[in-house]
Amino acid sequence: MNINRRRLFSGVLAAVLAAATLSACSTDSSTTPATATPGAALRAGSGANTSLGPIKKIDAGVLSVAYAEFGPATGQPVILLHGWPYDAYSYADVGPLLAAAGYRVLVPFLRGYGETTFLSAQTVRNGQQSAIARDIIDFMDALHIDKAVLGGFDWGARTVDIIAALWPQRVKAMVAVSGYIITQQAAQQQPLAPEAELGWWYQYYFATERGRLGYNRNRHDFNKLIWQRASPAWNFDDATYDRSATAFDNPDHVDIVISNYRWRLSLAPGEPQYDAYEQQLATGPAITVPAITIGSDFDGAVKDGKPYAAKYTGKHEHRILDGIGHNVPQEAPHPFAQAIIDADRL
C-alpha cells in the first residue's frame, strides 16, 4: 500500500470510527429500561476489589509516575492503561485476576491523573497522543522492563496502539478496546454526519475558554456524566465513581485534558520533540504484534472490528462484548483479563 492510499484509508477509517463511537457516546442512559441488565453475566466480579493497594512512585522521563502493582515481581510484565475520564481503578479487579495467573501487573496513572506529577514546573502540560505514549516507554525504561504485554481502553487503547506501532520491540502482545484509534489530525478536520457530530459536544466545549472554566469548576459532575453516557447499562454506585474522581483533582488534570482535545482538532500545538512520532502516526502504520481487539456497545457500528481489522497484520483476534459500555476492564474484568492472557499466548 503506497503512502497516498494509506492516508486515504486512514482518513476514511478515522471518520467511520469517529462517527460510530461518538454516536454511541451520546446515547442517553435514560433510554435504557430500568429492568434491562444487558451484559450482566459479563460483569461477574466487577466491583469485587475496592483498593489498589499501596501506590508506588518512580521518576520516568518528565514525570514522577504513580502506579499500582499486583502480582510477583518475577512475573511476565503487563502494563494496563486507563483513559479519560477514568483512572487506575479501572483495573482494580483485573489486576488481582492477572496476579493470580502469575503476571506482574503495573497500572500507571497517566500524566494529569492521581499522584502522577511533572518533575519540572517548566515542562509544557501537553496532552498530545505521542507525549503520553513516550511517558509509558520512559516508565518501562525506569523499571527496566524491556518488553511487556500492554492493554488499555480510551486514551489507554490509543497509547497501546501507538507504542505497538512505533516501538513494536517493546510489546510482547496487546489488547485494545475499540481497536485502532490512533488520532490522525488531518482526518479529524473532516465533518461527520449531524448525529455523529452531536457526540463531539464535550470536545467542542473544551475548545472554548468557557469550556476550560466549566470543566475546571465542575470536573466531578462533568466526568460522572461522561461515565453514565459512555456506559448506560453499567449501574456503578457513588463510591465506585468517587474512588476514581479523586484522580481528577491532580493540579495538571485540566490542562492535560484540554490540551489533548484541542490538539486533536489542531486548535493547540504539540511539542517539536514529538513531531517525528506524529509524522509516522499520520501514515496510519500497521500493527504487527500479536493483538486482541475488543468491541463493546460504545463502539456502535464498528463493534465487529471489521473496519480496522486490516491494520493488525500480525496474529489478531477480535472479541465482542454485548451489553458492555466503554470502561470494559472495570465493567467486565474477567473477559478483559482473559483477553490479556490469551493475547500473551498468541
Residue-wise pLDDT for 192-221, tens only, equals 899 889 988 999 999 999 999 999 999 999
Taking only the tens place, the pLDDT of each residue in 306-342 is 999 999 999 999 999 999 999 999 999 999 999 999 9
Q: Is the pLDDT of residue 5 over 50?
A: no
More confident residue, 38 or 110: 110
Give the model confidence (pLDDT) of 111-166 as tens digits: 999 999 999 999 999 999 999 999 999 999 999 999 999 999 999 999 999 999 99
CB-based burial, 308-334: b 16+ in 10 Å, e otherwise: beebbeeebbbbebebbbbbbbbbbbb
**What pLDDT, on a 0 to 100 scale, did the predictor assign at position 199?**
87
pLDDT for position 35: 45
pLDDT score recorded for residue 195: 87
Q: What percent of the chain has pLDDT over 70?
A: 89
pLDDT at residue 346 greater than cutoff 50: yes
Neighbours of 54 (CB within 10 A): 7
Among 114, 110, 113, 107, CA closest to 133: 110
- pLDDT given for residue 15 in this prediction: 43
State mean pLDDT over 221-230: 98
**Residue 171 DSSP one-character state:** E
> pLDDT band at 37, cuts 50/70/90?
low
Count other Cβ atoms within 10 Å, centred on residue 290. Answer: 22
The distance of Cα 168 from the centroid of its chain, to the nearest Å, equals: 18
CA distance 95 to 88: 10
Model confidence at 184: pLDDT above 90: yes
Task: Judge contact between 165 and 84, C-beta under 8 A.
Answer: no
238 grid coordinates: 457513588
Listing DSSP states for 258-290 in one string gives: HHHHHHHTTSS---GGGHHHHHHHTT---B-S-
